Amino acid sequence: MKKVLSIVLAAVLTFSLTACGANTTNKNDAKENATNTEATNKKDENKKDEEKTEEKAEEVKYEEFGQLLNAVSEKDYYYDDIGTIKILNDVKKEVNAAKKEDYTKKTKEIIDKEMTDKKVDVSKTKIYDYYKNANGEKSQKSYVVVYGDDKVPTTVYEVMFDISESDEPSLKETKENKELINDDFKTLFKADLEKPAEKEE
């Protein structure tokens, strides 16, 4: 009888231990599944947030190269109208025209010298001038776009000028800005280069 009771007791204990072990495993599996589901949900949420951010940060598309450069320059309060720097204050139109011509000739000479010093073929450049007149200081920033035979831009130089009270430009610094060049920049610049020259009135 004792033997039978021992065998029954051993069987009951074995069964209990097996059941407990299975229960623990099930609990651990359930916890693991819950953790995995939570992690997956978090990843999905993060992905959605990233997609929303990407949509917000989507680049603005410009129709013309001038619009693109205007947007870049206006962040630093530079404008493409030479009148911004107020060198055309004379009443007589012909005096204004002469001052403007003299001023632009001087800046062009400085830019050409800078490009020559940097071993850049001046015939493969196009210059876009921008002007600032803020807080009593006048300055100019010229974007010199260097391009290849295929009319695709390779780099951009920013040539910065200080302008004296007597409207004399002097070189401040020249720096290369390759970061400006992206696919949109290349496409719009090429279109600008190929567009027919506007007739002066």
- Output the tens digit of pLDDT for each of the chain's 201 residues: 556 556 656 665 666 655 555 555 555 565 566 555 565 555 566 665 555 555 545 566 899 999 999 999 999 999 999 988 887 666 677 777 888 899 999 999 999 999 999 999 999 999 999 999 988 889 999 999 999 999 999 999 999 999 998 889 999 999 999 999 999 999 999 999 998 766 554
Is the same domain home to 39 and 80?
A: no
Is the same domain home to 16 and 50?
A: yes
The answer to whether the beta carbons of residues 61 and 71 sit under 8 Å apart is no
How much is the pTM? 0.68
Task: Give the pair of three-digit tokens for residue 20.
Answer: 């407990």
Is the same domain home to 70 and 48?
A: no
Do the domain assignments include residue 201? no
Do the domain assignments include residue 200? no
Is the same domain home to 23 and 85?
A: no
Is the same domain home to 47 and 135?
A: no
Is the same domain home to 77 and 170?
A: yes
Burial class (CB in 10 A: 0-12, 13-18, 19+), 157: buried
Alpha helix segments (H runs only) across 83-182 = 93-117
Q: Which of 37, 58, 79 is the last residue of a domain?
A: 58
User: To 10 degrees, the CA torsion angle through 96, 102, 103, 106?
Assistant: 180
Separation of alpha carbons 62 and 86, rounded Å: 29
Residues 6+ apart with CB under 8 A from 70: 79, 80
Is the same domain home to 111 and 180?
A: yes
Do the domain assignments include residue 105? yes
Separation of alpha carbons 169 and 36, rounded Å: 66
Is the same domain home to 129 and 54?
A: no
Domain span at residue 17 reads: 1-58
